Structure formats: C-alpha cells, structure tokens
C-alpha cells in the first residue's frame, strides 16, 4: 500500500512586462541545471493572467503536484499569486538574487517584487510557502527547493488523509482529546467505528489464505531470539490483514490512511493478543496506528512519516531517569543535565527497525497484572514488541487541537542515548536540551497530552515549515536558557 505521496515538482517563472523576459527564462534554466533531475521546467513564462492559466494547465498536464513559482525579475503580482489559487497543490515562492549580469539591463529587482508577492498573497488569503530567506542564486534556490519537498509531501498527505478510528478513548485517557474541527480545518477526514466493527472484520479474516505468508514475514523480521510466541503469529497476522483490508475498503475519496485504535482493556481478551507488534509493523510501512485512540497522535505520526520518509513511533513522555542511572551512565559522558533526560515508553508499538537487536515479542506486564489471574502465565496479554529503543537522533513533536478548538504544536530535537533502561516495554532514555523547562512551560503550561510522536532524525526545520504552511500559529520548541518562556519566572 502506497501511503505517502510522491512529489512531482514543477517550476513556473514569472516576469513583469517592463523587465526583459529573457532574464527570468535564463535564470529559470540555471535553477533547473543546479537542481538536477526531478524538477519539471514549465516552458510558459507568466506575464499576465492568460499566461498564468496556460502555465498552470501545462504543469497539471505534466503531472506536477507541487510547484515552485520563481520571480526571475520583479514579477507581476496579480498573475503570479493567482497561480496558487488555480494550482491544486502546495506552491513555493522564491526570487532571484542579482549578480549574474550587469545592473542596467541585467537587474531584475526580484528582491522588491517578492514584497509585492507576499502582500498580494495575504490580501487574497492564499497559502504560499516562502523560505526563511527566499532570494538567492540558482544554487541557493535549488537548496531551498530541496527543503520544500518534504514540506510539500506532508501537506499533500494531510490534505488527502483519512484517520480511521476504532472505539472511544479508554477511561482516564481523555487527555488525548480530539476536537474534529481542527481535522476539518487541515483537510483531514475521519471515520469513527466501534470496536465491535473491528472484531467482526477480524473474525471474517479467519483462515485467510494470506495469513501464512504474513506469519513468515513476521518470523523473518523477529528472528529466532525475538519470536518468543510463534503460536501467536497467526492471530497477529490475521489482525494485520484486517487493518490493511479495512484501509483499502474504507479510504473512500482519500488517498492515504492512518489508524487510531483502542487497544485496552477489552481488546486483548476479545482478540486473544495485544495489537502492539502489528501496529509497529504498519508504522514501519508508513501507516501509523496510534495507541489509545489518539487521533492527533496518529496525525502527528503521519506527518512525521511524510517528512522523514522513515518509520515513526508514538510514545508516552513517561518517567524521569533515576538519579543513580544518570550518575552512572550519563553524567560526564554526555552534555546533559538530569532534567534534560526522561524515558519515552509505550507497550510495544515502536518498529523493530528502530529498536536494539535484542527486541522481542513479549507480554504487556501492566495488562497482565490487571486482566489475568495473579501468578498465571501470560496469555492474551502477549503481543507487545519490547526492548530498548536504539540510539539515534530524534525529533519529538505533536500537532494538537486543544479543548478550545485551536490548533497548536511543539517540536523538540534531541537523541536517544546509548543507555540501557533496565525496564520493560518499548522504551529508551531520551535527552533533549533544556527538557525540564520545555516540560514545564510548554507541555504542562499549554496542557498537551502525554503522547508525543517521534521521528528518527533531526527534522525540526521541515516540521516547523509544515506546521506554518498548515496554518498553525502556535509552534513551541525547547528554548535555550538565554531565551525565557513568557511564563518563566525571571527570579528563579
């Protein structure tokens, strides 16, 4: 299942009619050379509205789903901004720097034209992506375009996404609130179902002829040491096929899906296993399945998958690192204070490719205590993928619609440390600079839920630009010590 957009990028050059059109065209060609393969160069240079319609028709016919609008000179503010109205995908606006000709006949004034472009976009309430400094040489603009690609991929994905849910949130997990208003503002569709709907679909997949092949794939992924319960694989394979078939049959008018499923307390007893390992496998294929019906967690994971083109996970911002562990394994070895560290945990939904080599399918200890007889061997609480999360750069982030219906987000870059946790579940020791202040003045102050999405790498730049493009005004981050938060006591 192809669940992440593929970007076909086009570029349209614009020219104000009192400037040489050749200036825009030659500069456009230079960008194409600097960028290399993967950028379609529209042959129509836009000087007026008729040109605009011809150029948009041309890039659509070429299959482009994201667009660079290039001001090779001052540019005509009306037709250049109308491109964003008539083109169906995300549009980036950039402008040419001077220096490739004389300053008489070779001056383009795109530095000035970009001001008019931004002003006109605002008046028309059109959305356009403008880089942090949008004026550059061919090589510099080629770099800006490369930075735009993951943003465009995420925006296109969100606009064509359906989030499929099963079951209401568990009791005492209302913190993962999910006002639908915010989803609709982003262009996301949602389909909410009962756990009974999922159970009926699961039973209909009993003896599915594809189960054996999925079991084989699971066994190969886990290896001998990780496959503690081979007799459990058919049940989990049956569930995996159930979700994949549901996605194909229910995505309707949308191209992409993510799931937000209820995984306890009724699920393990009725299905006969915990769904965590299956959730991890789908996440590794770009189909996030969030825990505990966390709808905005699933949305956040999906955006992370689009930006990173890699597996993602959803974790509890779970527990502090014991001082004894910090002193023994972190202090003096890594440049972090104790309050910069915490443990990110979930029962077992992190993809195997992001975990240490000794990861294995195990059982959910907390659920076993709660749901199965004391002292008994685990039965239906088996199915988690457990072990320490492998050391890696990470980005911890979340997009959330708060209880007032306002979209807000946070982004914090850090790493998973190579420190054994000595604990259970899918878990790792995370370190984020100034995490203690971020925890207090963002996560607590702005009342974020305990779940955060994790992308494996530093993707803060692309996520920040994605959230801005999606219209999110409040984008919090872990501020350095020299930059206090508005709520931070200056006397502390």
Q: For the segment 83-100, what is each residue's pLDDT rounded down to a tens digit?
A: 999 999 999 999 999 998
When pLDDT is averaged across residues 363-369 and rounded to a whole number, the result is: 91
Could you tell me the residue ranges of all domains in the chain?
Answer: 9-158, 160-477
- What pLDDT was estimated at residue 403? 85
- What pLDDT was estimated at residue 1? 67
Q: CA neighbours within 13 Å on the CB side: how many for 322?
A: 9
Residue 169: pLDDT above 80?
Answer: no
Q: Which CATH number fits domain 9-158: 3.30.420.40, 3.40.1280.10, 3.40.50.10940, 3.50.50.60?
A: 3.40.50.10940
Residue 331: pLDDT above 90?
Answer: yes
- CATH number, domain 160-477: 3.40.275.10
Tell me whether domains 9-158 and 160-477 share a fold.
no
Please state, in angstroms and as integers, the Cα–Cα distance from residue 429 to each residue in 23, 322, 395, following that order. Answer: 54, 11, 14
Q: For the segment 280-324, what is each residue's pLDDT rounded down to a tens digit?
A: 999 999 999 998 999 999 999 999 999 999 999 999 999 999 999
pTM of the predicted structure, to 2 decimals:
0.96
With cut-offs at 50, 70 and 90, classify the pLDDT of residue 263: confident
């Amino acid at each position: 299942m192809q669940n992440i957009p593929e970007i076909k990028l086009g570029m349209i050059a614009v020219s104000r009619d009192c400037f040489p059109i050749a200036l825009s065209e030659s500069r456009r060609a230079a960008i194409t050379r600097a960028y290399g393969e993967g950028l379609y160069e529209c042959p129509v240079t836009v000087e007026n509205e008729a040109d605009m319609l011809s150029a948009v028709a041309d890039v659509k016919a070429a299959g482009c789903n994201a667009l660079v609008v290039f001001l090779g000179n001052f540019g005509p503010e009306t037709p250049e901004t109308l491109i964003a109205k008539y083109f169906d995908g995300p549009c980036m606006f950039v402008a040419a720097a001077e220096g490739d000709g004389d300053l008489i006949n070779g001056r383009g004034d795109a530095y000035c034209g970009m001001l008019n472009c931004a002003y006109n976009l605002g008046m028309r309430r059109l959305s356009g992506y403008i880089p942090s400094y949008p004026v550059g040489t061919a090589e510099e603009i080629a770099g800006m375009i490369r930075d735009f690609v993951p943003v465009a991929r995420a925006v296109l994905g969100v606009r064509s996404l359906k989030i499929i849910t099963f079951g209401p949130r568990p009791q005492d997990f209302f913190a993962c609130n999910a006002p639908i208003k915010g989803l609709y503002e982003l262009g996301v569709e949602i389909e909410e179902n009962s756990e009974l709907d999922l159970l009926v679909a699961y039973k209909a997949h009993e003896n599915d002829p594809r189960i054996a092949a999925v079991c084989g794939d699971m066994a190969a992924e886990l290896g001998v040491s990780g496959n503690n319960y081979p007799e459990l694989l058919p049940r989990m394979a049956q569930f995996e096929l159930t979700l994949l078939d549901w996605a194909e049959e229910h995505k309707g008018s949308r191209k992409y899906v993510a799931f937000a499923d209820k995984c306890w307390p009724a699920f393990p007893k009725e299905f006969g296993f915990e769904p965590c390992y299956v959730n991890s496998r789908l996440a590794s294929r770009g189909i996030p399945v969030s825990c505990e019906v966390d709808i905005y967690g699933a949305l956040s994971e999906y955006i992370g998958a689009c930006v990173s083109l890699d597996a993602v996970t959803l974790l509890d911002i779970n527990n502090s690192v014991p001082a004894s562990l910090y002193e023994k394994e972190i202090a003096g070895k890594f440049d972090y204070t104790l309050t910069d560290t915490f443990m990110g945990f979930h029962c077992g939904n992190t993809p195997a490719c992001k975990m240490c080599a000794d990861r294995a399918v195990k059982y959910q200890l907390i659920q076993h205590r709660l749901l199965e007889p004391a002292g008994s061997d685990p039965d239906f609480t088996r199915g988690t993928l457990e072990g320490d999360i492998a050391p890696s750069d990470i980005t911890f982030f979340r997009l959330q619609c708060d209880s007032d219906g306002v979209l807000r987000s946070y982004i914090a870059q850090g790493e998973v440390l190579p420190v054994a946790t000595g604990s259970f579940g899918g878990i790792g020791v995370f370190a984020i600079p100034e995490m203690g202040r971020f925890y207090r003045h963002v996560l607590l102050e702005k009342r974020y839920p305990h779940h955060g999405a994790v992308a494996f790498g530093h993707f803060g730049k692309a996520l920040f630009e994605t959230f801005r493009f999606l219209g999110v005004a409040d984008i919090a981050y872990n501020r350095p010590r020299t930059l206090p938060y508005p709520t931070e006591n200056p006397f502390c």
